[in-house]
C-alpha cells in the first residue's frame, strides 16, 4: 500500500497533457472576384484579394496560413491537391492580395495553363499549427498572358559570336535607370566572349571592352571576357560605363533548413528548365534565405507580398526591409529559385 501511494502521488505530480481539439475551418473562404484577365496594365496591381476567418487550434499559438492553387482535374484525382502550388501568407494573417504578375506566374509556370486561354484554377486556404486544416475551395477563372518584351532602353541583349541575338539572354534596368542586371548561363565548351547591345542586332549601340572593367561604344572594341563557363550575374552601369561578371552558385541557409545557420544547403542548376532546385527536409519553426557563393554578399529575402528582392548585392543599396522566407509546415520540400527572367525573379515551395 505504501508503494502504491508513492506511485499514485508521483503520477499526480506529472504535467497535464494538452490535447488539441477537433479542427473545423470556420466561415467561408472568399475571393474579391471569380474572374481575372491578366494584362500588362494590371500585372503590377492586386487583381484578387482573398479573405478567411481564423482557425482555432484550442491553444495559444501562432497559426500559419498559406494559399494553395491547383487545377480542377488534380483536386478530383485519387490523390487530390497533390500537385498544388503553395504560396506562404504568414502567421495569423487573414487576408492576401495577389498581384497580376504573381498569379500569371502561378498559372503558366506552376499549373501549366496556356497564355490567352481562359481556364479554371481552384484555390483554398491551408492553416497549420500541429496539423493542417483546409478551407472550402473556390474556383477562379484566369486568363494569363505572356508579358511583353521589356521596352527598348530598359534592356540590353547579351550576345556572343555565333549566337542568335534575338534569342539571346538579356539584362534589364528595373527602375528605368542606367544600371542593368541579370543572369546568363554559359555551358561547358560555350563561348565566354560577350558584348552588350541596345537592340537585338549589331546595327545599333554595341558595348565592348573598354579596358579596366569599363565598356566602350566603339564597335571595333573587343569582346568582354568571362573567366570560364558557368552561371553568371552580369551588370552594366551606363552612368560610369562599368560592368561586372560574378560567377554564381546558389544555396539556402537558415534554421528552417538542414544546415541551420551554419552550413549552406546547395541548389543545383538545370540548364533545360533554367532554374535552381533542392529537395530537402524543412521545418516551420525557423526561416531561411537564398544566398550566393556561401557568403552574405548577394542574397534574397521577400517583401510583404512574398516577392523576391535583394537584401544584399554590391550593385544595389542594402534593403533591410525584406524578410526571411519560411515554409508553412514541417516536411520534405522541393525549393525552386527562378532567375531566368531578368527583373522578375521568383521562387516556389512544393511539399512532397
129 Cα distance to chain centroid: 24
* 308-335 residue pLDDT tens: 999 999 999 999 999 999 999 999 999 9
pLDDT at 183: 96
224 to 7, 42, 158, 159, 245: CA distances (angstroms): 81, 38, 10, 10, 10
Query: Strand 206-211 relative to strand 268-270: parallel, antiparallel, unpaired?
Result: unpaired
Q: What is the pLDDT of residues 73-129, one digit of tens each?
A: 989 888 899 888 888 888 899 999 998 888 988 888 788 888 888 999 999 999 999
Over residues 182-219, the pLDDT tens digits come to 999 999 989 999 999 998 888 899 999 999 999 999 98
3-state secondary structure of 211: strand
Report the C-alpha gap between 273 and 296 in whole angstroms: 27
Domains and CATH numbers, the chain: 30-143 (2.60.40.10), 155-247 (2.60.40.3620), 250-351 (2.60.40)
Half-sphere exposure of 258 (CA within 13 A, CB side): 13
Q: Do the bridges between strand 275-282 and strand 35-37 make them parallel or antiparallel, or are there none, so unpaired?
A: unpaired
Q: 177 — phi, psi (to 5°)?
A: -90, -155
> d(Cα 42, Cα 91) in Å, to the nearest integer?
28
Q: Is the pTM of this model over 0.75?
A: no
CB 305 within 8 A of CB 99: yes
Residue 20: predicted pLDDT: 52
Give CA–CA dist 153/334, Å, rounded.
Answer: 37
Minimal CA–CA distance to 54: which of 23, 88, 98? 23
Q: How many CB atoms neighbour CB 51 within 10 A?
A: 15
pLDDT band, residue 60 (cuts 50/70/90): confident
**Mean pLDDT, the chain, integer:** 88
Given this model, what pLDDT does residue 7 score? 46
Amino acid at each position: 500500500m505504501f508503494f502504491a501511494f508513492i506511485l499514485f502521488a508521483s503520477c499526480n505530480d506529472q504535467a497535464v497533457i494538452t490535447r488539441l481539439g477537433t479542427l473545423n475551418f470556420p466561415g467561408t473562404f472568399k475571393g474579391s472576384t471569380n474572374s481575372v484577365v491578366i494584362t500588362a496594365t494590371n500585372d503590377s496591381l492586386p487583381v484578387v484579394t482573398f479573405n478567411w476567418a481564423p482557425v482555432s487550434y484550442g491553444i495559444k499559438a501562432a497559426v500559419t496560413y498559406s494559399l494553395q492553387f491547383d487545377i480542377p482535374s488534380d483536386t478530383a484525382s485519387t490523390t487530390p491537391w497533390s500537385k498544388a502550388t503553395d504560396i506562404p501568407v504568414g502567421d495569423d494573417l487573414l487576408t492576401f492580395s495577389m498581384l497580376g504578375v504573381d498569379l500569371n506566374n502561378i498559372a503558366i509556370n506552376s499549373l501549366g495553363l496556356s497564355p490567352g486561354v481562359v481556364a479554371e484554377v481552384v484555390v483554398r486556404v491551408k492553416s497549420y499549427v500541429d496539423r493542417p486544416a483546409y478551407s472550402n475551395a473556390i474556383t477562379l477563372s484566369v486568363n494569363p498572358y505572356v508579358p511583353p518584351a521589356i521596352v527598348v532602353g530598359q534592356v540590353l541583349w547579351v550576345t556572343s559570336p555565333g549566337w542568335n541575338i534575338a534569342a539571346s539572354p538579356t539584362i534589364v534596368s528595373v527602375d528605368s535607370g542606367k544600371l542593368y542586371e541579370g543572369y546568363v548561363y554559359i555551358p561547358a565548351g560555350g563561348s565566354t566572349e560577350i558584348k552588350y547591345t541596345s537592340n537585338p542586332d549589331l546595327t545599333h549601340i554595341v558595348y565592348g571592352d573598354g579596358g579596366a572593367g569599363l565598356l566602350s561604344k566603339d564597335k571595333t572594341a573587343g569582346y568582354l571576357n568571362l573567366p570560364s563557363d558557368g552561371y553568371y550575374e552580369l551588370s552594366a552601369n551606363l552612368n560610369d560605363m562599368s560592368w561586372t561578371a560574378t560567377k554564381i552558385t546558389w544555396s539556402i541557409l537558415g534554421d528552417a533548413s538542414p544546415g541551420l545557420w551554419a552550413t549552406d544547403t546547395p541548389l543545383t542548376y538545370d540548364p533545360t528548365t533554367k532554374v535552381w532546385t533542392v529537395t530537402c527536409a524543412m521545418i516551420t519553426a525557423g526561416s531561411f534565405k537564398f544566398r550566393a557563393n556561401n557568403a552574405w554578399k548577394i542574397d534574397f529575402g521577400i517583401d510583404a507580398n512574398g516577392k523576391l528582392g535583394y537584401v544584399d548585392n554590391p550593385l544595389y543599396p542594402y534593403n533591410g526591409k525584406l524578410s526571411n522566407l519560411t515554409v508553412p509546415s514541417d516536411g520534405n520540400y522541393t525549393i525552386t529559385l527562378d532567375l531566368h527572367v531578368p527583373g522578375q525573379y521568383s521562387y516556389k515551395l512544393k511539399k512532397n
